Chains A and B, each alone.
Chain A
């Protein structure tokens, strides 16, 4: 597993250095920045800082700007990481290298992990860019406690990685990236509490947020950096996020294994 991890990491790194995927990079940053500007313009210019009472009671903060900006930031980060990992196999298929890869007796988990860790570099650069722009428009973090933040982010990355495995196998089944990924992304952005608390949504839509790692990630991240306290519900969220990650990981590994076979059949049969 280590060999295929490091090999894939290196390969992806070299590919990135040679042909940086600028349009995805800028696209992800802009998606985050638009959420930031939307929050800024709505808050200051349209609503003159007047919030709905329910907002404070749902979120426990009256800092709408930071709430929405962190939403945009983490949303872009998740989209970026999901795309990088989930598109791996289908890209191999399109470029004609999938068979050569499947011929080798290498670990698929190591392969995906290598891609994910390399992709994480890119996603982090994007997140930092969005973050800096957010600061300019009034993003305020009350506390940045690395001791809590690092484990939270690690669990979050694991859960997103696992979700990407499931997404990736759907892509292989549908032989499509564009529709599959964006359908997930628009739903994810709607239900996970990116720019408004999901409690505003009708009940059935609200329940959808339970299967999105992003919604737990946002609760935790906002809790840590805006609200500056660790509550019991956050511990629960952290465990739920981890559990969700494990579920997605198992489901994703099984799906990928299965679809790999059928893809070779369909594609070349």
Chain B
């Protein structure tokens, strides 16, 4: 039994189970598209003409590109929160307990779940973003090979983040807490809709807790600012550092969660 076969099994299950209802595309496409439009118009009350102070962080003609790359990366992370919420249903139906009865290593199961849901969740919005990017223009790439690297980094970080959330969910009975603590602040502080560089220190220090912040710096650096591998190496090292910390935390937490569940039997409670 290897990680790939677990992922494949999860892909098939989640395809039948989570994507069977087309309404799910509201949350994966319609909402982020509207959020993107909302974020764009939220800047309208400000001075966006030549000489705007915004230009210190984002060239004002690239505001659209800045926001769409932000929401593109965000949707990767966001879709995995939703897949973590599915755990709540599995918990209610008792299938979560059954999953943990199987001999699959827990940590694989948690990351496998995250990976399995990703592709199906993000393809539509990714295609939309690509169209918007082509339409708006303004892409500036220095080293083209960095584009696939940035995408791989985005996927990898999202899966690690998703697995981490899945594990948090082993503890909590309440899906809302997850959203409140991990998700909403991420959209806000990771620089999805505002340049992190403009933040005051306290807001920056929150921003640097989220892997999405580094992923966005790299993604935007590659496609908007024409940065080279050397320019981005600092952010890359930081991102890998944060991801390592998350993986170690996940490994630790999954053990604690299982021990906790065995003692209190709380997996069947919901």
Q: Which residues from chain A sit less than 8 Å from chain B, CB to CB?
A: 22-24, 26-27, 30-31, 34, 37-38, 41-43, 45-48, 50-52, 54-55, 64, 67-68, 174, 176, 178-179, 182-183, 186-187, 189-190, 195-197, 200-201
Contact = CB atoms under 8 A, between A and B. Distances in A.
B53 interface: yes
Given A31-B184, A196-B44, A42 B27 contact: no
Given A23-B174, A47-B52, A182-B31, A190 B46 contact: no
A38 B39 CA distance: 10
Contact of B176 (A27, A41, A46): A27
Given A23-B174, A182-B27, A46 B57 contact: yes
Interface string B39-77: 001111111100011100100000000000000000000
Nearest to B193: A38
Contacts of B41: 190, 196, 200-201
Nearest to A23: B176
B48 A52 contact: yes
A269 B52 CA distance: 63
A187 to B, nearest CB: 6
Given A46-B198, A52-B45, 19 more contacts: A22-B174, A27-B176, A27-B179, A27-B184, A30-B184, A34-B188, A37-B203, A38-B193, A41-B194, A42-B43, A47-B47, A47-B54, A52-B47, A52-B48, A64-B46, A179-B23, A186-B35, A189-B38, A200-B44
A205 to B, nearest CB: 8
Given A27-B180, A179-B23, A186-B31, A50 B47 contact: yes
Contacts of B176: 22-24, 26-27
B37 interface: yes
B27 A178 contact: yes
B26 A179 contact: yes
Contacts of A67: 45
Secondary structure dominating the interface of A: helix
A52 B41 CA distance: 12
B175 to A, nearest CB: 7
A41 B202 CA distance: 12
A38 B203 CA distance: 11
A37 B188 contact: yes
Contacts of A45: 198-200
Contact of B46 (A22, A27, A50): A50
B31 A55 contact: no
A23 B183 CA distance: 13
Contacts of B23: 174, 176, 179
30 contacts: A22-B174, A22-B177, A23-B180, A26-B176, A26-B180, A31-B184, A34-B184, A37-B203, A38-B42, A41-B194, A41-B199, A45-B200, A46-B57, A47-B53, A50-B52, A52-B44, A54-B44, A55-B45, A64-B45, A174-B23, A176-B23, A179-B23, A179-B26, A179-B27, A182-B31, A183-B30, A190-B37, A190-B38, A195-B42, A196-B45
A42 B46 CA distance: 9
Contacts of B226: none
Contacts of A200: 41, 44-45
A23 B177 contact: yes
Nearest to B31: A186
